[in-house]
Homo-oligomer: A and B are copies of this chain.
Amino acid sequence: MTTEGGGPGSKAATHDHRARLRRAAERGRHAGYAAVVVSPSPDLFYLTGYDAPVLERLTALVLRDGKDPVLIVPELEAPRAAASGADSLTELVPWRDGDDPIETLRSILSEGRIAVTERMWASQLLSLQRALSSSTFEPASSVLADLRARKDPAEVQLLRKAARGADQSFSLITAEGFRGRMEGQVARSLAEHLQECGHDSVAFTSVGSGPNGASPHHLPEDRTIRAGDAVVMDFGGRVGGYCSDITRTVSVGEPRGEVAEVHAIVHEAQEAAFGAAGPGVPGEEVDRAARRVIEGAGYGHAFIHRTGHGIGLEEHEEPYLVEGNHRPLEPGNCFSIEPGIYLAGRFGVRIEDIVTLTEDGAVRLNHAPRERMVVG
């Protein structure tokens, strides 16, 4: 067996899944889809609260205009699906090993434009394409990603709680000494703090010291942290299914070289991006605001990633703050703002907060100090 879930691995809070299913079906109809097919993923968890395992056995929620939602599940997963409450939201259609679930799926779909979960496995999509050869298939992002990107107050509250736990964890880690510890030790300590500070689970704790900080997603290893190092810490987990994600860069004693100068530039870029963010502003404009500061200081080549990503049930989701994203941000959007400068072989600096948009503008969910902090 496997318990690897498509969702966040924790029970749903009391979200209104019936309303979400209705809105998704309506949006599917407006977009002209004959059906929306949702496989195990945060999409399925968002719509039904069922944290279905991601398996080679097909599980698929089918939304069609004017019809009740249907959830095709492997027979041996049916008790778990029912226990999640999905049986009161959908018609459960179990299939047994040896049957062909693609045929079951085909039999309830009509040919036309069909939207599928972005994370559906290619093998399942290819089978569906063969079974419905006159249909066209498109990613369901226009239906589901947009819906999920506009968080309701209960969702923002969970993201706020997660951000608060991340802030507290940063406070606890900076009260400890860094000098002489290994990156891996600091990472494990951070994971414990996240759990002490209300997280249901820990997703990642990246600790990159000295030259390792120049790899944005460095996996902690046996490097011993030394005086003069800049240490980039990027960590997060989940509270009620919703993610935290914060980055801070600290100096161990007085920093070497231009760490202080680079930190000030990244801080200014982060403030500039935050200042630019608001309802109606295209995602790329926020990216440009951060990039302008870093390019102006001569470090444009060293800012090697986008400025931010949406966050919710997934660590990365829409909206993305990246050149080419012309879509205006909307109230309810929640995303990271995380410019960085990476100098290969030397050090890196990144500062990341989660931000939510209200009708009136941007509000930070993280409040840990952004100024350069000197630790022991």
Q: Which residues of A are at the interface with B, using a C-beta cutoff of 8 A?
A: 1-4, 53, 55-56, 74-77, 79-80, 83, 96-98, 116-126, 137-139, 141, 203-204, 206, 214-219, 234, 245, 247, 304-306, 315-317, 322-324
| Known contacts A75-B305, A306-B97, A217 near B53 by CB under 8 Å | yes
CB closest chain-B residue, reference A51: B219
| Complex Cα gap A219–B83 (Å) | 10
| Known contacts A76-B217, A305-B97, A1 near B121 by CB under 8 Å | no
Whether B315 pairs with A2 at a CB distance below 8 angstroms is yes
CB distance from A227 to the nearest CB of B (A): 24
| Complex Cα gap A168–B4 (Å) | 24
Whether B122 pairs with A121 at a CB distance below 8 angstroms is yes
CB closest chain-B residue, reference A307: B97
| A55 neighbours in B (Cβ, 8 Å) | 316
Whether A56 pairs with B316 at a CB distance below 8 angstroms is yes
| A304 neighbours in B (Cβ, 8 Å) | 75-76, 96-97
Q: Which listed residue, B2, B75, B139, touches A123 by the CB 8 Å rule?
A: B139
| A247 neighbours in B (Cβ, 8 Å) | 1
CB distance from A168 to the nearest CB of B (A): 20
Whether A218 pairs with B80 at a CB distance below 8 angstroms is yes
CB distance from A320 to the nearest CB of B (A): 8
CB closest chain-B residue, reference A53: B217
Q: Which listed residue, B75, B234, B306, touches A98 by the CB 8 Å rule?
A: B306
Whether B121 pairs with A217 at a CB distance below 8 angstroms is no
Q: Which 4 A/B pairs are nearest by Cβ-Cβ distance?
A: A79-B215, A118-B123, A97-B306, A98-B323
Whether B306 pairs with A3 at a CB distance below 8 angstroms is no
Whether A245 pairs with B203 at a CB distance below 8 angstroms is no
Whether A122 pairs with B119 at a CB distance below 8 angstroms is yes
| Complex Cα gap A315–B1 (Å) | 7
CB distance from A156 to the nearest CB of B (A): 21
CB distance from A142 to the nearest CB of B (A): 12
| Known contacts A97-B306, A322-B97, A316 near B2 by CB under 8 Å | yes
Can you list 7 A-B pairs with a CB-CB distance of less than 8 A? A79-B215, A80-B215, A97-B323, A98-B306, A121-B122, A122-B139, A126-B138
| Complex Cα gap A204–B3 (Å) | 6
| A56 neighbours in B (Cβ, 8 Å) | 118, 316-317
| A306 neighbours in B (Cβ, 8 Å) | 97-98
CB distance from A347 to the nearest CB of B (A): 13
